Amino acid sequence: MKLHILSDLHCEFADFVPPVVDCDVVVLAGDIHVKSRGARWASLTFSTPVIYAMGNHEHYSGNIDRTHSKLLDAAEAHVHVLENQVLEHRDVQFLCATGWTSLAATGDPVAASWCARNSLNDFRAIRVGEQYRRLRPDDLIARNRETKEWLEGQLSVPFNGKRVVVTHHPPLMKFVSDQGADPHLRAAYGNNWDGLMNFKIDLWIFGHTHEAVDEVVNGIRFVSNPRGYPNEETGFRPDLVVSV
């Protein structure tokens, strides 16, 4: 199966017209557009099936508890917006989630939480719950734990086919570079999910860091193909197609 892989298009800053490529499925690994606009864009842009895992920016100017349902409402039938959900297409199983982070990857989640809350726009731009309060680090830690446990459960079930995991946040810290003067800020960008590497996974697609990746670790191919912000050098390949 041929997958056209894209992430971090950030169409809220500049529109993107993808090239026509020979593919069976388009995979969008988050930060396509804010709110439900990414689902509408994908519906209008692609005619092939689309697998869409939300990023953090999809929640901007919205409520994290309602974003998924709004994207589902905006998506046409061929666009599958998935959060802690599985979709099987032909002989390929896609396991999709945003991922978030535990803020523990650098060894001090308290310091990382403080650093993230003071540095990241997520905690100013995203609301939570019926009271529309501001997002807190513990909200993301809980969602991260839920996704990790869900992935462990799904990956423990045998599947006679190819397995592709799609998250926005990186599953391994080796894919996260330094993010500033405070070393604990790195923990807000990725995970230490080393234990998941023991499961049968053929391909793991992610985004978020705005640094292109195509690397094999423990027999698993990891691919990130982010466009990033306007004029940002990310190694983006708009026509990237990966076979699985």
CB–CB of 67/180 below 8 Å? no
Say how many domains are in the chain: 1
List the CATH number of the domain containing 61.
Answer: 3.60.21.10
pLDDT of residue 178: 79
Decide which of 128 and 178 is more confident: 128
- At residue 217's C-alpha, the angle toward residues 21 and 3, to 5°, is 15
Mean pLDDT score of the chain: 97
pTM of the predicted protein model = 0.97
Look-up: residue for tokens 């046409």? 76
Taking the C-alpha atoms of residue 95 and residue 118, their distance in angstroms, rounded to an integer, is: 32
Residue 85, pLDDT score: 99
pLDDT of residue 182 exceeding 90: no
What is the per-residue pLDDT across 92-111, written as a single tens digit (0 to 9) for each? 999 999 999 999 999 999 99
Q: What is the C-alpha end-to-end distance of the chain, expressed in Å?
A: 5
- Residue 226's pLDDT is 99
Q: Write out pLDDT tens, residues 26-67.
A: 999 999 999 999 999 999 999 999 999 999 999 999 999 999
Q: How far is CA 227 from CA 150, 223, 237, in A?
A: 29, 13, 8
Average pLDDT over residues 137-152: 98
Domain carrying residue 226: 2-243
Which pLDDT band holds residue 180 (cuts at 50, 70, 90)?
low
The beta-carbon contacts of 16-21 under 8 Å, at least 24 apart in sequence, are 16/227, 16/238, 17/45, 18/45, 18/46, 18/238, 18/239, 19/238, 19/239, 21/239, 21/241
pLDDT of residue 19: 98
pLDDT reading at 144 higher than 70: yes
Angle in degrees, CA 16, 223, 23, rounded to 5: 60
